[in-house]
Amino acid sequence: MIERIEVQREIAVGPQAIFSLLSDPQGHVAIDSSGMLMAATGEPVKAVGDSFVVHMDREALNDYPLGLYDVTVRIVTLVPDREIAWSIEGQLNLGHVYGYTLEPIDQGTLVTSYYDWSGVQQSWKDAAIFPVIPESALRATLGILARTVTSGSTRPLT
């Protein structure tokens, strides 16, 4: 049974620019393709254990009538300019993890977005709610990430 999704995209900027966006709570809102992330409160993360709050709207998925709610994003992996991953804490602490790895390449950065629910309790796996976010949403978020970091104040590699 699949318990992890990974998608990749080459982005024509260095890993530092991408990591800077991914470590900023506002960056998560800016690149979200699901429509669930409405706003974020907190400072950019710098270490494992750091956290920030994301204000959510589940109506974007139209699956469960949760309405507006807040979750805490808790950093579980942080290697500057290489990897960042987090778990979601809130009414339900299920144990699923979202993250990105950044690999420098000649063209910029190979970005891998992943979503892993292998650590979730079996009873939640049996409830057939995973993956909450489909592969297509991870892929779309990478597209928004590419557009965001290659325009505006972030300068592409030359």
- As assigned by CATH, the class of the 4-149 domain is alpha beta
Annotated domain spans of the chain: 4-149
Specify the DSSP class assigned to residue 127: T
Q: How far lies 22's CA from each of 69, 86, 92, 118, in Å?
A: 22, 11, 24, 23
DSSP 53-82: EEEEEGGGTTSS---EEEEEEEEEEEETTT
According to the model, what pLDDT value does residue 152 have? 58
**Which residue numbers in the chain have pLDDT < 70?**
60-65, 152-158
The pTM of this model reads: 0.89
